[in-house]
Amino acid sequence: MSQSQLLQGKVVVITGAGGEIGRAAALLFADEGARLVVSDLDAAAAAATAQLAANAGAEVIAVATDIGNHSSVDELMEATVKKFGRLDCAFNNAGINLATDDGTNMEAFEKSMTVNAVGTMYCQTAEVSLMLKTGGGAIVNNASVMGLVGSTRQPGYAASKHAVIGLTKTGALRWASQGIRVNAVCPGAVRTAMTEGAMGRSPELRARLMSMSPTGRLAEVDEIAQAALWLCSDRASFINGVALAVDGGFTAG
């Protein structure tokens, strides 16, 4: 355990916690003293993350959640209140990145918008309703560098992530006076098992992803989790409405 825990005793919801970034965040937040509600569309993946966090000493529950379904998000909040009685922080990490989102597939475009944009709106609004009851909190939305720049390949993903940043800034303005901060992390290319597999099959993709950062490497999942942790913590107490690029300098050029 850390000597000075950044989230000691705070109740934190993490969506998309079955994936590699979400799992890294759950374990990092657990190490920093958080009490966790880990959710994912994949119930088994959420349960696996919860078990790892519990093994690390965290008080944690797992909840299967479809963030694109308003009722499912409400059930996530109800489970949080039933277990912990409050909500202090949220990392809205869940989202999709569809290979079929190529500008011609309207179904893929609409699904990207529904999950990434509408789903984040559902989560953010529901989380705020709980935080307002206990004097405030901190929300971090997982956007993308594709929410900061355009994309010639995935219009639905880029549009939805621009929307996430818009929701972040709007929430920051709307609830700042009530003690709620809303920020976003905007990862560049991140090294995951899926990314590594895709790069292994496509040298062209490997070259393109590696070129996305002046550092010449991909981000590690823990580097994204660390940024989310800081934004959730009181060390970022005057940071509000920021879309923080975690991209090795990609958006600097």
Catalytic positions: 157
Q: Which amino acid is located at 27 in the chain?
A: L
Burial class (CB in 10 A: 0-12, 13-18, 19+), 203: exposed
Q: Using N-to-C axis directions, what is the helix angle for 203-210 and 193-201, rounded to 10°?
A: 130
Q: How far is CA 207 from CA 179, 192, 204, in A?
A: 44, 16, 5
Q: What DSSP assignment string belongs to 79-91?
A: HHHHHHS---EEE
Three-state SS at 235: helix
